Every structure is written in structure tokens, then in C-alpha cells.
């Protein structure tokens, strides 16, 4: 029964660490650009976007498809970096936590 109590304490500690990490990730940001800096995207490490900036010179109506592609590229780069940071931070919280039989 003592191992169950130890497991419960480990789980509670891990949950507290994960909540702290999630709060920290919500405040942490990454930035990505595309189109030589014409499009800049800032993403939060909780998976949300913080901002999108577009250089006004990139807004030629004839180039709408190019600008859309640059935005998509910058967003995907920023979200990928944010996800990588999030996974690394969450992995720190779960390191060493072992479930019996797993």
C-alpha cells in the first residue's frame, strides 16, 4: 500500500509541475519569418498565435497568393518551434515518472 501512496504523491507532484510549465509556456513566445522578413509571425508555446505582421510593401493585390503562402509558411514554422519547446518542457516534468507495468 505504501507504493500506492508513493505513486499518488508522484502524480500530484507531476501535476503541479505540469501546471507550472503550462503557465510558463503560455507566456513564452517564438518568432518566425518568411519572404525575406515580409511576414513575421509570433506564436506562444501553448500553441496559440500572438501576432502576425506583414510588411505593407508585400501587399500588392496581384501577389495575394504569394503573401498567403508566406503567411502560411511563417505560421507553420512558428508553431513547430513552439511545439518543440512545449514538448521539451513537458518532458522535463514527466521524466522519471514510471507507472507499474508500463
CB 25 within 8 A of CB 18: no
Q: Tens digit of pLDDT for each residue in 66-80?
A: 888 888 888 888 888
* Residue 61 Cα distances to 14, 28, 56, 84, angstroms: 51, 34, 11, 35
User: Within 13 Å, how many C-alpha atoms sit on residue 62's CB side?
Assistant: 0
pLDDT for the residue numbered 1: 52
The one-character DSSP state at 102 is -
The two beta strands, 49-54 and 39-44, are antiparallel
Would the pTM count as exceeding 0.75?
no
Q: What is the DSSP string of 23-64?
A: HHHHH-EEEEEETTTTEEEEEETTS-EEEEEE-GGG--GGGH
pLDDT in tens, 13-69: 888 888 888 888 888 888 989 889 988 988 888 888 888 888 888 888 888 888 888
Q: Domains in the chain, please, with CATH?
A: 2-94 (3.30.1310.10)
How many degrees, rounded to 5, is the angle at CA 33 between CA 31 and CA 39?
115
Amino acid at each position: 500500500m505504501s507504493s500506492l501512496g508513493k505513486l499518488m504523491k508522484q502524480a500530484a507532484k507531476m501535476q503541479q509541475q505540469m501546471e507550472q510549465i503550462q503557465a510558463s509556456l503560455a507566456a513564452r513566445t517564438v518568432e518566425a519569418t518568411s519572404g525575406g522578413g515580409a511576414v513575421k509571425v509570433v506564436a506562444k508555446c501553448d500553441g496559440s498565435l500572438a501576432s502576425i505582421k506583414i510588411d505593407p510593401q508585400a501587399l500588392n493585390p496581384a501577389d495575394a497568393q504569394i503573401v498567403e503562402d508566406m503567411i502560411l509558411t511563417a505560421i507553420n514554422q512558428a508553431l513547430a518551434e513552439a511545439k518543440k519547446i512545449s514538448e521539451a518542457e513537458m518532458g522535463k516534468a514527466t521524466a522519471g515518472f514510471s507507472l507499474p507495468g508500463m
